[in-house]
Amino acid sequence: MLTTPVWLSLGFPLPVAIASNQMNGAAWTLIAARNYLRGKTLDWTLIRFMIGFGLAGAYAGTLLVRGVDEQILKRVVGLVIISLVAAVGFSPSLGRGESEPRLSRRVTGMLAFPLGAYESFFGSGNGLFTSFLLSKTRGFPLLTALGYYYVVAFTWNCFAVVIFISAGFADARLMIPSTAGAVLGAYCGSRLGRSKGYGFVRVLFLTVGGILGVKLALGW
């Protein structure tokens, strides 16, 4: 969730930073998904709905980012992330275990449209948003929700990469080393998260999300 702001702080233009972040995501998300979902039976109907509606959103997002004011976007996203972190913080049982679904697969899939749009033009913190959505609507435990996010985000990232590269926003100086680092980090991080369990991931979720939200809201 921190990579796009970091690339921006290093002086890369927003479209280039996002293109590199999408390439990173396309490379590491399936690795993380495998570690979080190993041994679980996947709901492929839900995944197909989320991929389909999310891809439509991703296309809309790639169009939006070319004309958006970067500073306004950062502040708005920061405030949204802070609100989400607060909601999770005040709901200690959310994602601790499996619960009954509240919304259908189709409706949950439709809610992936804005998530796909956000993934394609910024992406930072989208694991927070998607995990929260799946825990609330489908009753998934937090670690399972993260795994599902990584599965669908892989397709959203691949789609966005094609769009951004075709528009000339690829920069190998950033894309190649950052992707290599992302793959290594995803493998180690997802194995650590699975072994440590819900409590560890929740604390990390709140801590990193809170820091990121404040940073973006203040325009840093």
How do the pLDDT tens digits run along the chain, 220 residues long?
Answer: 567 767 777 888 878 888 888 888 888 888 888 888 988 999 999 999 999 999 998 888 877 766 667 677 778 777 877 887 887 777 777 666 788 999 999 999 999 998 888 877 666 677 888 988 999 899 999 889 989 999 998 998 888 888 888 888 888 888 888 888 888 887 787 777 777 776 777 787 788 778 877 877 887 6
Rounded CA separation 68/48 (Å): 29
Question: What pLDDT score does 122 carry?
Answer: 66
Range of the domain at 92: 3-217
Question: What pLDDT score does 194 carry?
Answer: 73
In total, how many domains does the chain have? 1
Question: What pLDDT score does 52 carry?
Answer: 95
Question: What pLDDT score does 7 carry?
Answer: 79
Rounded CA separation 14/48 (Å): 30
Report the sign of the C-alpha dihedral through residues 103, 104, 107, 112, in that order: positive
Question: What pLDDT score does 99 carry?
Answer: 87
Specify the residue for token string 């690339």: 7
Q: What angle do CA 80, 83, 84 make, to 5 degrees?
A: 85
Rounded CA separation 37/114 (Å): 24
Question: What pLDDT score does 182 carry?
Answer: 82
144 phi and psi, to 5 degrees? -65, -40
The answer to whether 160 and 22 are in contact (CB under 8 A) is: yes
Question: What pLDDT score does 123 carry?
Answer: 65
